[in-house]
Amino acid sequence: MASSFTLSLKPIASFCCVAAEQARFDNYRVHQVRIETEEQLQVLQYLEEHPDGYIFWDSPVQTNMELELVVPPHKYSDFEELTTKLNIKTRLRIKNFQEVID
């Protein structure tokens, strides 16, 4: 049975397919990210402005918030390093976003 989180992603996944037509998201991961400090917020705001493959489903606008972030395969190690360095709490929500789209 699909979780409510996964079901809520179906419209987003459909939009991605229509908007990008040929875009694929094989092995893109969706992480829930918790922003607790001002430094974490500033870094995530910078990443949103200069995404280099990251896709923010929510904008980082304040501390004490959670957001959903899509991480492309070529950014796995950078993301891991960043979250470790800044002690950002994350939770893997989707391991392969393309499977949700399909």
- Give residue 27's pLDDT: 98
Report the domain count for the chain: 1
Read off the pLDDT of residues 17-69 as tens digits, 9 standing for 90 and up.
555 578 999 999 999 999 999 999 999 999 999 999 999 999 999 999 999 99
Kindly state the average pLDDT of the residues 75-80.
98
The domain of 56 spans 4-101
How many degrees, rounded to 5, is the angle at CA 7 between CA 56 and CA 1?
135
Question: Residue 33's beta-bridge partner residues?
Answer: 67, 90
Is the model's pLDDT at 97 over the cut of 70? Answer: yes
Say which CATH number the domain at 11 has. 3.30.70.340
